[in-house]
Structure 1
Amino acid sequence: MLELFFSVAFSAVPLTLFVPPIRSLNLFVQTMEGMWMESSGYTHRVYPRLRVAIHRILDCILCNTS
């Protein structure tokens, strides 16, 4: 049983190297929030235009196939 415990413990040690420390995750989350805030104004302007453009393209495609 002790051998099983040590084999599981030592096999899990390399996995801890792939998990970044909490302070790095906080920096990552802060960067992603900043990018989200900066891009939200742009996406709110573009989304209605994109929706209208796709609607017009689909109208043309569906009208020509009938």
Structure 2
Amino acid sequence: MLQLFFAVAFSAVPLTLYIPPIRSLNLFVETIEDLLRQMAVHTIRTYPRIRFGFSRILNNLLHLAR
């Protein structure tokens, strides 16, 4: 049983190199949250315009198909 524990432990050690330390992760999460906040402002403004433009394109395509 002890050999199995050491085999699993030493095989998992290289995986810890891919996980950043918590102090770096906090900065990353803060940056992502800030980016999402800024994107939300622009999305709220542009969504109605995109929807209106898309509906006009669809209307034109449907009228051309008749």
Q: TM-score range by the shorter chain?
A: 0.7 to 0.9
TM-score by length of 1: 0.83
Percent pairwise identity: 56
Following TM superposition, where does structure 1 have runs of at least 4 consecutive aligned residues deviating by more than 3 angstroms?
none
Paired with 1:39 and 1:5, the residues of 2 have a C-alpha distance of: 46
Paired with 2:8 and 2:40, the residues of 1 have a C-alpha distance of: 46
Partner of 1:5: 5
Tell me how large the CA RMSD over aligned residues is. Answer: 1.4
TM-score by length of 2: 0.83
Partner of 1:49: 49
Q: Which 5+ residue runs of structure 2 have no aligned equivalent?
A: none
Total equivalences in the alignment: 66
Give the secondary-structure state (helix, strand or coil) at the position aligned to 1:20.
Answer: coil
Paired with 2:25 and 2:2, the residues of 1 have a C-alpha distance of: 35
Paired with 2:59 and 2:52, the residues of 1 have a C-alpha distance of: 10
